[in-house]
Chains A and B, each alone.
Chain A
């Protein structure tokens, strides 16, 4: 650790629970005897595994004016204001999200190899001759990655038009063979059912004449979407056959699942005949399962597994898709080779407002338009809670601590409020954990001035900085901080000195035998829990408490 910058985090109290903390790597559970006793003088342990989920920089926190409490991402509720594509920045209405899903359906794609954005370019011969620069380039078009130079040509995919790539891509498989659309499948299904002279189920919008009918193979290898479409169609037809006319006269189709007839039949399955009439009861036994690919059945094919293994052997590691690449694919189940990867349509992003989980008041609300960065409501912790920063007292000093050498740090509290605040701080005498460093706050109680207006600030600033500098220079030679006195003070800020006597990280000299062992992760960082109480009087009342925590290098 060559350099280390001391930092401060704030603990959000929403994670306070009665569960005793348990440290990682500790085999024996903490004694649960005097739990109620512990409750009162229990101090926050920044090393507890749970602490990871409650410590935040002040800027990451919101503030609820009604609860007088800081709010972290765990104790706010998110509400989506706007969906948009992070690439083309077009807003997507929530109705479209429901029908089309959570990806951009325009032409926004990411590289399946390296995740960089893909751009559309023409691979047609560039126009030549006089006035060539005024001619639009012609197709065909491909998706190109300008980062790793991948092209959709590598998976045999080209496009006729430079726009609407999402729709064009959904019609073609890797290698260039067209995808049989659900509509074509439906048509084929209907023809079959007509041939088999089974009463046909009418679905909306079927009677388009003149379309070429596709004859489907009953042993076809289906992709995930077609399989789902086939299964769905099959089960819907099963339901429709099982209850040809429900009480309200719906004839199967999309209404099959939710119809009162189907519901009462399902209820009847478990509760006896109360809910079901005789007719539907007699039908319960007639459902069957899918029997071939046309109905969505895919047999496990051992030969194709062997084929896959042979392919992995032949093509080697470079042509095998990585876990990271598969993770980005929408249907990763049967993909092994990089040739099977598809361009990734951009996942949509959201603008969200945030509510207090306790009182449901809105804490933050962005403007709904994608391109604006303004907020309608924005109650952030830094405008309510004094910021706390930490730095070594000696400016020339290395940030790393030396065991047993007392080191002084300056804690600076800056008040954002227009009222004076009273601050009390407390630390345990030694830091929690196996390696106990001694900590002393030289001035545990002080007042911080109000944050007066900006004009006054501008006028005073020059003088203040001057004062700070001379003080720092004066102290450079003899590092003396007096107990009970603040170190420095400004208009709306106060600095106090904290002295740390770091301990040695030699685990073999620890008193308790069960504590001995190698240094675990992050144990070489001194973490000091600091309890901070801030009181102020505004409109006759108001008081607030915060627990802050400082980390220091070691």
Chain B
């Protein structure tokens, strides 16, 4: 936040290899799971505080999970992760947001999905609506608004407002969706 702090380096590296920007806002850290080797850039907001309203089995399982993130994910500057919420049987509650491995989220995008599968790339300035389910190997182009509750099957390219499937991922594009190289390129250097 201050220039004095930034001098230490932009990123804090955790034991599991996560690179977390000092200028990110992670709220409710005890309810967030990070799988490791994930990059969280400046001004990223992760809302771990948006928990399920009435946890029936919370006491048995320990601390509840609001946001679960896998390995090699990349959250670009200014994106926001919010667990989705809705009224169910007369009660408003949030539900967990799950993100698998090798997921790229572009700058300033807002994610309120229920599930984002592995090898998913979401462009800049996108909105992923509440309870959307995005399966593995999907590209969401810049500026897309994925409507609430939408299911995006694997190997889809999604664009538009509202978002719709506009194309398919080719067989040869699969390797390019691996984010290990991107992870290595990020550091305090």
Contact code string B149-189 (vs A, CB < 8 Å = 1, else 0)? 11111111000001011000011111110000000000000
Bound form: Cα–Cα A62–B172 in Å: 7
Interface segment out of the listed B29-37, B40-48, B129-137: B129-137
Contact between chains at B147 and A116 (CB < 8 Å):
yes
Q: Within the assembled complex, what's the spacing in Å between the Cα atoms of A371 and B152? A: 12
Which residues 332-365 of A have a CB within 8 angstroms of B?
349, 354, 364
Assess whether A407 is interfacial by the CB under 8 Å rule.
Answer: no
Least CB distance, B55 to chain A, in whole angstroms: 14
Q: Mark A53-67, 1 if CB is under 8 A from B, else 0.
A: 000001111100000
> Chain B contacts of A134 at CB under 8 A?
89
Q: Considering only CB atoms, which chain B residue lies closest to A378 in the complex?
A: B171
- Asked if residues A58 and B129 are in contact (CB atoms below 8 Å), the reply is no
Q: Which residue of A59, A127, A148 has the most chain B CB atoms within 10 A of its CB atom? A: A59
Least CB distance, A108 to chain B, in whole angstroms: 9
| Residues A89 and B162 in contact, CB atoms below 8 Å apart | no
Contact with B along A65-87 (1 / 0, CB 8 A): 00000000000000000001011
Q: If A126-B90, A373-B155 touch, does A146 touch B136 (CB 8 Å cutoff)?
A: no
Q: Give the dominant DSSP class at B's interface.
A: loop
A127-B170 Cα distance, complex, nearest whole Å: 49
Minimum Cβ distance to chain B for residue A58 (Å): 7
A220 → chain B, closest Cβ, in Å? 37
The CB with the most chain B CB atoms within 10 A, among A84, A148, A373, A378, is that of A373
Asked if A380 CB lies within 8 Å of chain B CBs, one says: yes
- Kindly list chain A residues whose C-beta atoms are within 8 Å of the C-beta of B91: 133
A115 contacts B by Cβ under 8 Å? yes
Q: How far is the CA of A60 from the CA of B176 in the complex (A)?
A: 12
Name the one of A61, A117, A126, A371 contacting B150, with C-beta atoms under 8 angstroms. A117
Interface size on A, residues (CB 8 A): 37
**Is the C-beta of B148 less than 8 angstroms from some C-beta in chain A?**
yes
CA distance A111 to B105 in the complex (A): 27
Interface residue A114 (Cβ < 8 Å from any Cβ of B): yes
The answer to whether A364 touches B155, judged by C-beta atoms less than 8 angstroms apart, is no
From B148, B151, B155, B170, give the contact of A87 (CB < 8 A): B151
Looking across the interface, which residue of chain B has its beta carbon closest to that of A128? B90
- Is there contact, CB below 8 Å, between A373 and B154? yes
- B165 engages A86 (CB within 8 Å): yes
Q: Which residues of A contact B136 (CB under 8 A)?
A: 373
CB–CB B171/A380 < 8 A: yes
In the assembled complex, the CB of A470 is this many whole angstroms from the nearest CB of chain B, namely: 15
CB-defined A-B contacts under 8 Å, sample of 11? A59-B170, A86-B151, A86-B152, A89-B153, A114-B147, A115-B164, A116-B148, A116-B150, A146-B148, A147-B162, A354-B171
Contacts from B to A (Cβ < 8 Å): 89-91, 129-130, 135-137, 145, 147-156, 162, 164-165, 170-176
Interfacial residues, chain A to chain B (CB-CB below 8 A)? 58-62, 84, 86-89, 114-117, 119, 126-127, 132-135, 137, 145-148, 349, 354, 364, 370-371, 373, 375, 378, 380-382
Given A84-B153, A375-B171, A380-B172: 12 more A-B contacts, CB < 8 Å: A59-B170, A60-B172, A86-B152, A86-B156, A86-B165, A116-B148, A117-B147, A132-B89, A364-B171, A371-B135, A371-B154, A380-B170
